[in-house]
Amino acid sequence: MRPTVHDIAEAAGVSLATVDRVLNRRPGVRAETRARVEDAIGRIGFVRDMAAANLAKSRIYPLVFIIPNGDNSFMAGLRQEIEEAIQRSPLERTEIQRIDVPAFDARALAEALDSLLADPPVGVAVVAVDAPEVHAAIGRLREQGTVVVTLVSDLPGSARDHFAGVDNIAAGRTAGSLMGRFLGGRTGSVAVIAGSMLVGDHRDRLTGFSERLNEINPTLDILPVLESQDDPDAVYRLISKRLAADPEIAGIYNLGAGNRGLIRALTGLRESHGRPMVIAHELTQHTRHALLDDLIDAILNQDPGHEVRSAIRVLKAKADGVPVIDAQERIRIDIFLKDNLS
């Protein structure tokens, strides 16, 4: 016989009402009690037919996306994908809210997460900043039964349930491999631009890039990271100053955003005496034109639409207590060169 909710209640030593709250991810259950119920579910092998249950109840999933504001081209694309998901809400039985916060502002992000505690949604997807207050805020939401998915930038040491994004160590290693192979046996230095080292994706990309480039060509010297806050004007100023100080820089890797500023600096450089080998992230209208114009050599891209759809699927699955299909949620890294643009 299949285990029932009565069996869960007996095994956990709680009421049926408490079991119902845990199964439906509703607030009002202490973390210790919730853990006891979830342990009982695992021990007795309870499996709930959530699809049938949710259709019968016409369940709606309240979800919140918290993302950085500003004119970052990739984040603009992410916002557009979220808006399209909002338009699909009636078909997917979701109610999606988007909250914009200042980029790289840990305090503002923690406050946005805490603002949800009064009426916790089923799930939250958040572009994370690695700071103690953000870890703590995610933990408070999880204690209320809210599922938390980190989006684009991960917090592996936090209480989050899942990460929807590319493997950023692998992305950095891919950039390092391309840089090392394109530069061959050349010596010299490589400039690296990041938005902020407060975000995990940028730190991971730098780690992967440094490791792989050193494996392929240890004679190349990776210069101290330039932090631009992903602002195109800051990228332009920083890289222009570095190139003026060292006109023999062999390569540039922009592991963050702000590529419009990089392209502006490279345009002036090409008109004077040539340019370094350049790798950047995210295929936008600006980086596409730069590839075609031979200003950038390679672009590593992630699909924001896949990430948003994956986050929604995972939030719903985790809320229902059903398995996540790992292969479906794996976000791939695409490599674009001038030769394979379509």
Question: Where residue 21 sits, what CATH number does that domain have?
Answer: 1.10.260.40
Instruction: Answer yes or no: do 84 and 157 share one domain.
Output: yes
Average pLDDT over residues 280-300: 96
Confidence check: pLDDT of 57 > 60: no
Predicted pLDDT of residue 55: 53
Considering the chain, what is the average pLDDT of its residues? 92
In 3-state terms, what secondary structure has residue 205?
A: helix
Instruction: Answer yes or no: do 160 and 181 share one domain.
Output: no
CA–CA–CA angle 317, 318, 321 (5° rounding): 85
Confidence check: pLDDT of 51 > 60: no
Residue 80 lies in a domain: yes
Instruction: Answer yes or no: do 210 and 269 share one domain.
Output: yes
How far apart CA 6 and CA 15 sit, in angstroms, is: 9
Q: Is 300 exposed, middle or buried (0-12, 13-18, 19+ CB in 10 A)?
A: buried
In 3-state terms, what secondary structure has residue 267?
A: helix
**Which strand (E) or helix (H) includes residue 233?**
helix 232-245
Residue 334 lies in a domain: no
Q: Which two tokens stand for residue 47?
A: 């499996």
* Predicted model pTM: 0.82
Instruction: Answer yes or no: do 161 and 215 share one domain.
Output: no
Residue 282 lies in a domain: yes
Instruction: Answer yes or no: do 180 and 297 share one domain.
Output: yes
CATH of residue 75: 3.40.50.2300
Instruction: Answer yes or no: do 173 and 286 share one domain.
Output: yes
How far apart CA 172 and CA 24 sit, in angstroms, is: 39
Instruction: Answer yes or no: do 308 and 200 share one domain.
Output: no
176-186 tens-digit pLDDT:
999 999 998 88
Instruction: Answer yes or no: do 264 and 323 share one domain.
Output: no
Residue 149 and residue 315 in contact, taking contact as beta carbons nearer than 8 Å: yes
DSSP 8-state code for residue 187: -
Predicted pLDDT of residue 21: 81
Residue 340 lies in a domain: no
Predicted pLDDT of residue 273: 57
HSE-CB at 308 with a 13 A cutoff on CA atoms is 25
Instruction: Answer yes or no: do 199 and 133 share one domain.
Output: no
Domain of residue 74, residue span: 53-165+304-329
**Total of domains in the chain:** 3
| pLDDT top residue among 191 and 92 | 191
Q: Which two tokens stand for residue 7?
A: 């069996």
Instruction: Answer yes or no: do 67 and 93 share one domain.
Output: yes
How far apart CA 276 and CA 136 sit, in angstroms, is: 43
Of 45, 61, 63, the residue nearest 4 (C-alpha): 45
Residue 335 lies in a domain: no
How far apart CA 288 and CA 220 sit, in angstroms, is: 27
In 3-state terms, what secondary structure has residue 85?
A: helix
Residue with tokens 């994370």: 128
Instruction: Answer yes or no: do 41 and 112 share one domain.
Output: no
Average pLDDT over residues 317-326: 86
